[in-house]
Amino acid sequence: MKIRPVRGTHDLFGEEIKKFNIIKNIVSKIAKLNSFNEFQSPIFEFTDLFLKPLGEHSDVVLKEMYTFKDRNDEQLTLRPEYTTPMIRGAITNNLLNDLPQKLYGLGPMFRRERPQKGRYRQFNQINFEIFGTDDYLADFELIFIANEILKSLLPNNNFELHLNSLGSKLNLTKYKSVLSKYFQDKKRFLTNESKEKIYSNPLRILDSKYNEDQEVCDLAPRINEYLDQDLKNHFERLKKALNLCNIKYKENHKLVRGLDYYCSTVFEFKTNDIGSQNTLLGGGRYDGLIGALGGPNIPGIGWAAGVERVSMLMDQSININNSLVHVALMDEKYKDHLINLINYLNKNSIEYFWNFKYNLKKSLSKASEDKIKYIIIIGEDEFINNSYTIKNLLNGKQSQKRLDEIKNYLNDKS
């Protein structure tokens, strides 16, 4: 039998792992700048944690959870998202005694979706959450941070912020029943997929990808006609704050999000550059969720971004560092000379590459293929003189240096 990876999973190596690490570094830098503390949860939890909050009629719960029975018959699920595990963790570690809590994390999630470009069964999410405030500035801060992270990683700005407000939980329930009645009347024009959601999840018809459905949705009652005044004000203030920072957005009254726990502000950053899986980042308020999970009755808001989708958009404008020098050893006789060099390069934090090939020609062509600036050559001459030849592959110049001169030479010339 031929070994193969599980469908919808992928290995990270080469340029991909470099981009992954750049993403991780930028996320932790911006999190620190804004006083968000890192929180890592286990990758599996009791299944019950996800069932109700994500919505018993949501795709994630109905079709996508990796659920299994443990040996003692407990039902466990690989986390399909980060928000509920973070809330569980904040409750069980007593973090909610000190509010508000600002937490972030980055790690693997699992959903049994049909794999395609930008959609995997194991993927990584960046996640930011604020627990314990209904201030519109929390909405602003989270969207601002999302924008900062995406701007740093995607300097070509090929993404767009969509915004909507779903109103309070109570209003949302009223709106759902109005919407359901509207769709019942128009049932004959809807696709079968949407017909199935008329009673269970009418909101999700609004973001259907089919044109037939969209024509019906265009004339559907709009959520903003059902917003309570204080949430209308909340939304207006948020938009003003975004304007103040010149963060462009598009109001999208059909933006409803796929998980059940949302209310009030919801948002997504979308792109046109990676095909149909075009949402890079999504989130919103989930007032009531923390209480429903057994915590205090406090509001919360957050977002998650798909690392793989962001990575697909990253290009050469992000500086992916290769090592600074290659080492070429012309004969096995000079191995001790190489050992001294490796020791020196490590002590001085100089990144190098060496591939166990005792052949100058091969080393030179590998270095130019990797676009490396310097090659350090060790041959008979260098061995006799107790020195190293450093060749600058950009301008062809070379010079012999003692070990303790290498660092300054590279610094001066780079």
d(CA 93, CA 120): 31
- Residue 113 contacts ligand HAM per CB under 6 A: yes
Stretch that binds ligand HAM, among 179-187, 193-201, 274-282, 359-367 (CB under 6 A): 274-282
- Residue 27 contacts ligand HAM per CB under 6 A: no
Compute the least distance from the CB of residue 189 to ligand HAM, in Å.
28
Compute the least distance from the CB of residue 381 to ligand HAM, in Å.
54
- Smallest CA-to-CA distance from 353 within 343, 339, 365, 367 is with 367
d(CA 368, CA 345): 20
Each residue 147-166 as x (binds ligand HAM by CB under 6 A) or -, in order, gives --------------------
Buried b (16+ CB within 10 A) or exposed e, 232-251: eebbeebbebbeeeebebee
- Residue 281 contacts ligand HAM per CB under 6 A: yes
Contact with ligand HAM (CB under 6 A) among 120, 136, 159, 374: 120
Q: Which helix (H) or strand (E) holds 162?
A: strand 160-165
Contact with ligand HAM (CB under 6 A) among 100, 107, 258, 288: 258
d(CA 134, CA 299): 6
Spatial contact of 157 and 136, defined as CB atoms under 8 Å apart: no
Distances (CA, A) of 116 to 30, 66, 185, 342: 30, 18, 35, 44
The owner of tokens 């699992």 is 110
Amino acid at 79: R
- Tell which positions 305-344 bind ligand HAM, by CB under 6 A: 305-306, 308-309
Q: Hey, CA dihedral for 118, 123, 128, 130, is it positive or negative?
A: positive
Cβ nearer to ligand HAM, comparing 305 with 377: 305
Cβ nearer to ligand HAM, comparing 148 with 405: 148
Count of residues in the chain: 414
Stretch that binds ligand HAM, among 115-123, 149-157, 206-214, 351-359 (CB under 6 A): 115-123
Cβ nearer to ligand HAM, comparing 16 with 113: 113
Compute the least distance from the CB of residue 234 to ligand HAM, in Å.
17
Contact with ligand HAM (CB under 6 A) among 102, 111, 204, 239: 111
SS3 45: strand
Residue closest to ligand HAM (Cβ) = 306
**DSSP code at position 85:** H
Compute the least distance from the CB of residue 214 to ligand HAM, in Å.
20
Compute the least distance from the CB of residue 398 to ligand HAM, in Å.
48
**DSSP code at position 258:** S
Stretch that binds ligand HAM, among 144-152, 277-285, 351-359, 399-407 (CB under 6 A): 277-285
Instruction: With CB under 6 A as the rule, give the number of residues binding ligand HAM.
Output: 28
- Smallest CA-to-CA distance from 197 within 252, 138, 247, 256 is with 256
- Tell which positions 282-311 bind ligand HAM, by CB under 6 A: 282-284, 286, 302-306, 308-309
Spatial contact of 262 and 132, defined as CB atoms under 8 Å apart: no
Helices (H) and strands (E) in the chain, counts: 15, 16
- Tell which positions 45-104 bind ligand HAM, by CB under 6 A: 81-83
Q: Which helix (H) or strand (E) holds 83?
A: helix 83-92
Copy the structure tokens of residue 176.
């759902």
The owner of tokens 């919505």 is 55
Cβ nearer to ligand HAM, comparing 213 with 308: 308
Taking only Cα atoms into account, the Rg of the chain, rounded to an integer number of angstroms, comes to: 27
Compute the least distance from the CB of residue 298 to ligand HAM, in Å.
15
Contact with ligand HAM (CB under 6 A) among 31, 223, 280, 290: 280
Contact with ligand HAM (CB under 6 A) among 127, 165, 201, 363: 127
Footprint of ligand HAM (CB under 6 A):
81-83, 111, 113, 118-120, 123, 125, 127, 129, 258-259, 279-284, 286, 302-306, 308-309
